[in-house]
Structure 1
Amino acid sequence: MFSWMARMAAACWRPVRRYARMSKDEEEDDALLWSRDVERHSGGEYSFAVVQANESLEDYSQVETGRDAIFVGIYDGHGGPDASRFISDHLFVHLMRLAREGGTISEDIIRRAFSATEEGFLALVRRTHEIKPLMAAVGSCCLVGIIWKGTLFAANLGDSRAVVGRLGRSNAIIAEQVTEEHNASLESVRRELMASHPDDSHIVVLRQGVWRIKGIIQVSRSIGDAYLKRPEFRVDPSFPRFRLPEPLRRPVLTAEPAISVRVLRPQDKFLIFASDGLWEHLTNQEAAELVHKYPRAGIARRLVRRALEEAMRKREMRYEDLKKIKKEARRFFHDDITVVVVFIDSEFSPGQTAGGCQMSVRGFVDSAGPSEFSILDGM
């Protein structure tokens, strides 16, 4: 029995190839691109890819697979990686603790997990404020997708996005966005901000053709960005990038996620979760059609590559030229990009995870480990 369990653990949590194998003429040698080819979850398969653009990777990400569930987390940091790394280490843990206490996963449980993560990070900012004052200006978008017993919960702060690909008539694929975005470039977000701050004529400011909140930041919801939420975290005026035009009277950002709930239907074939670096270059429909057209193996990496090709085309350059550009200069051409594609092949039923594996996979980590989904067994 022990040797059988050891073999199963080795199969679940093995070291893995860093790159997915695609067609011969598309083999990668980009040292800043990491991917998982295709892995099993309890209701199908998934593919995972990340490309780095910033000098320090600010996209943290994870996939957690359970006996009858899957969790996808994409955390797109700004101002540094501290907030996105913190979310990766704490959000799923909070979610599992609260789900175990409540006996289920629900919108309320997810909101409380986000709130606990936000409060934890703000406490870290407070503890380190004297020695690392710019921690108050570090934040992260946060996209979470959970499929729990046939229901999709999609929660979002910021401008990452989740899209479902469903079959329409004549087996044509239809892209349907299932998350709400919070970016001042959207008129609806600007109206929301102005309605909640009627006495602040500078709540959104157009600078060099870009709408920004207080002239500083584009996203209106995030984890972190403490100096835009609480006066105690005021950033020293010697850092002009984060200088507010007047003292903060009340929060201008929030960590309240927008959550959508969808009972999955037979027509729902896959989900694409991605940071905004992908959606800057591909539409929802373009991404869904690419996933529908090509083999599953390496499909997340194919999406990333297509976005990079489009980014270079806009500069009248080739993708091959991009691979020669050093890490510290890549941000001038594209953002960090994270993509997870989850294929839905069957109903999520207890005990159906392939090989009994409950795996935790992290972006840019070449081995898998056990997932804390195990604490929900029997729920």
Structure 2
Amino acid sequence: MLQALMNLLSLCWRPFGRGDGEGLSSVGIVGAANNGGGGGGRDGKDNMLWFRDFGKYAWGDFSMAVVQANQVLEDQSQIESGPFGTFVGVYDGHGGPETARYVCDNLFKHFQAISAESKGVVTAETIQNAFLRTEEGFTALVSELWGTRPQVATVGSCCLVGVICQGTLFVANLGDSRCVLGKKVGNTGEVAAIQLSTEHNANLEEVRHELKGLHPHDPQIVVLKHGVWRVKGIIQVSKSIGDAYMKHARFNREPISAKFRLPEPMTMPILSAEPTVLSHPLHPNDSFLIFASDGLWEHLSNEQAVEIVHNHPHAGSAKRLVKTALQEAARKREMRYSDLRKIDKKVRRHFHDDITVIVLFLNHDLISRGRVEEPPVSIKGARDQG
């Protein structure tokens, strides 16, 4: 029975990618964009910006865009949609691309398998268990590579996931990516911005309070350095996939770089991989969802992003948000957007981060019917852009 369910789910939730994602190939550099698998529209490229202006998924339209700033793109993303629902992931890597790529190759597969075990029922626990299996898998990979690539122990990824199933939206998050809902305000024609994700960044007072409560005997659990609060003076986020050096004492030693090694013994994990999960029954006034890595939110407020999407056509929404954020990044440095476009990757990181944006528009006629008419969609964002 379980195998039959897995076979059925695999037709509806087809992962799209290269290889099985379980071994070293999943963390190597792939020198091309990795888009496809339905949804309509076309992929485009504009300097360091890659986008799909318009496509269709189970419950409406979508728009997707990625801009690269680092030498190697550290953001990954995906949309998976079929008769059982829709899965969206934005994975913002740090320290390298390996963890984000691993998550992109494996998190949805674990979610798919766990959903099959529960006969297609999706709960917050379903998503939490998918995160746990992904964390366990990446930690096992770090162990395998310790003798040859120990630096993988210092690589991690924030993870933002949205799942729409049977009229309910689940949002799960580790780190500081963000999901924002654009909600119609009655019949006024206005749209309110409602943040649905909880962020885990030491610059937030509540996160510092939580860390101090978990580590009451460690006065250095959060440290202010150059105006930025960091966990152990090293990393801003308090939750992630990966970052094994901050979770397992066996990885917090040579040969990893001294800047990652703690001066005192680690008696318990410092970072967590347990996501905060919110469930939200979709309402007819819920208009669209913006999923984006923190590179967007560094330059745009929730309200600004929602207004931009609301006041323009669906097509090109994600690219419009990215370009507006880049224009703001250029303005802050007293330069023109056209000049910023000429700056190559790696150097660009001094002006803005990698940015990933996915916008989902909600068609409530489709949602209320509960029947998916669009063919399955499976798309992964740009891998590495050369």
Q: Which amino acid aligns with 2:68?
A: Q
Whichever residue aligns with residue 173 of structure 2, its letter is N
State the SS of the aligned residue for 1:117: helix
User: Alignment partner for residue 312 of structure 2, among 273, 288, 294?
Assistant: 294
After superposition, residues 100-249 of structure 1 pair within 5 angstroms as 100-103=116-119, 104-169=121-186, 170-236=188-254, 239-249=257-267
The alignment's TM-score, normalised by the length of structure 2, stands at: 0.86
1:258-337 alignment, distance < 5 Å: 258-337=276-355
For structure 1, the 5+ residue unaligned runs are 1-10, 20-28, 367-379
How many equivalent residue pairs?
345
- How far 1:30 moved relative to its partner? 3.2
3-state secondary structure, aligned to 2:350: coil
CA distance in 2, matches of 1:228, 1:365: 26
Q: Secondary structure at the match of 1:185?
A: coil
| TM-superposed deviation, 1:353 | 3.1
Corresponding residue number in structure 2 for 1:256:
274
The separation in 2 between residues aligned to 1:247 and 1:305, in whole angstroms, is 45
Deviation of the 1:37 alpha carbon: 1.2
1:58 maps to what in 2?
74
SS of residue in 1 equivalent to 2:318: helix
Amino acid at match of 1:145: G
CA distance in 2, matches of 1:342, 1:42: 10
Structure 1 residue identity aligned to 2:318: A
Question: How many angstroms apart in 1 are the aligned matches of 2:106 and 2:352?
Answer: 28
Structure 2: tracts of 5 or more residues without a match: 1-35
Question: What's the TM-score once normalised by structure 1's chain length?
Answer: 0.88
Contact kept? 1:163, 1:175, Cα under 8 Å: yes
1:353 equivalent to 2:380? Answer no
Distance in 2 between residues matched to 1:249 and 1:65, nearest whole Å: 42
Look up the SS of the partner of 1:327 in the other structure.
coil
Distance 1:147 1:352 in 2: 12
Percent identity of paired positions between Structure 1 and Structure 2: 52
CA distance in 2, matches of 1:36, 1:155: 24
Letter in structure 2 aligned against 1:322: L
Alpha-carbon distance in 2 for matches of 1:16, 1:294 = 18
**Equivalences for 1:37-48 in 2 at 5 Å?**
37-48=53-64
Cα drift, residue 147 of structure 1: 0.6
Q: Which moved more, 1:33-42 or 1:275-284?
A: 33-42
Q: For 2:139, what is the secondary structure of its paired residue?
A: helix
How far apart are 1:123 and its partner, in Å? 0.1
Which string of whole-angstrom CA distances, capped at 9 and with x for unpartnered residues, describes residues 272-308 of structure 1? Answer: 0000000000000000010000011111000000000
Bigger mean CA deviation after superposition, 36-45 or 122-131? 36-45
Cα deviations across residues 168-195 of structure 1 (Å, max 9, x unaligned)?
Answer: 1412110000010000000000000000
> 2-side partners of 1:333 and 1:64: how far apart?
32
CA distance in structure 1 between the aligned counterparts of 2:58 and 2:242, rounded to whole angstroms: 33
